Chains A and B, each alone.
Chain A
């Protein structure tokens, strides 16, 4: 499955912010979703490239894909966990 087939249940914009804001916004976004729903997260912090995968692993979420266009990163996350 590619992200082209996906419609996000929630889009979260964390662009023009630095750590810890992308992860904190990702968490707030996840709190609004049900298990299995998909969030699209936009960030510009280069550290998010490492941080969002860690956030997904620790929280039990699935990182479906990461896209990069210039200095902008787009993360597709499927909510998992308890």
Chain B
């Protein structure tokens, strides 16, 4: 048995839902991502999501902090690696003690890169270019730059340098926020 009050509540709820939907229809959607990791496996997700978001007409921004800054560092972005240490999910899992042997990280990196190339995956550098061409906001964390001694000229062209407040302002208008 539905009471009058319940029905009124239901109708109000539907009205409010519709008003909310209509008010936000056609609004440009936004995604804000913090990229804090510099290993190959952790660099792909933010780049894939941001470039895809942009391709779908969304605004996207990535805030590169800590090791994530390597992605936009000209000296380091071609040498991103993946480590077999403490990574039992690696394609060829090896005991940590063997993973610590010199050359194992290079081997794991080489293996992952070959697997990706076989599937025609774009490199991280190519994805960064796609992001830049499609207007993804790339923001370098000024604190990380200071702590790690990274200069503006070490970074690829076209990135903004900013701190937490600026990212938070951007993210406060985003429907999707991710920390990677």
Chain A residues in the interface with B (C-beta under 8 A): 16-21, 23-24, 26-27, 54-55, 58-60, 81
Q: Total contacts A to B, CB within 8 angstroms? A: 42
Consensus secondary structure, chain B interface: loop
In the complex, how many angstroms separate the beta carbon of A17 from the nearest chain B beta carbon? 5
Is B71 an interface residue when CB atoms closer than 8 A count as contact? no
In the complex, how many angstroms separate the beta carbon of B115 from the nearest chain A beta carbon? 11
Question: Would A26 and B120 count as touching, CB distance under 8 A?
Answer: no
Question: Would B120 and A23 count as touching, CB distance under 8 A?
Answer: no
When distances are taken between beta carbons in the complex, the residues of chain A under 8 Å from B52 are 19-20, 23-24
Chain B residues in the interface with A (C-beta under 8 A): 29, 48, 51-52, 54-58, 119-122, 127, 130, 134
When distances are taken between beta carbons in the complex, the residues of chain B under 8 Å from A17 are 119-121
Cβ-defined partner of B55 (8 Å) among A16, A18, A27, A60: A27
When distances are taken between beta carbons in the complex, the residues of chain A under 8 Å from B51 are 20, 24
Question: Would B130 and A24 count as touching, CB distance under 8 A?
Answer: yes
Cβ-defined partner of A60 (8 Å) among B48, B57, B121, B122: B57
In the complex, how many angstroms separate the beta carbon of B129 from the nearest chain A beta carbon? 11
Interface centre among B54, B55, B119 (most CB of A within 10 A): B55
When distances are taken between beta carbons in the complex, the residues of chain A under 8 Å from B29 are 58
If A20-B48, A24-B52, A24-B130 touch, does A58 touch B57 (CB 8 Å cutoff)?
A: yes
Question: Would B119 and A55 count as touching, CB distance under 8 A?
Answer: no
In the complex, how many angstroms separate the beta carbon of A46 from the nearest chain B beta carbon? 13
Can you list 28 A-B pairs, Cβ within 8 angstroms, ordered by A? A16-B119, A16-B120, A17-B119, A18-B120, A18-B121, A19-B48, A19-B52, A20-B52, A20-B55, A21-B121, A21-B122, A23-B52, A23-B55, A23-B56, A24-B51, A24-B52, A24-B55, A24-B130, A27-B54, A54-B56, A55-B55, A55-B56, A58-B29, A58-B56, A58-B58, A59-B57, A60-B57, A81-B57
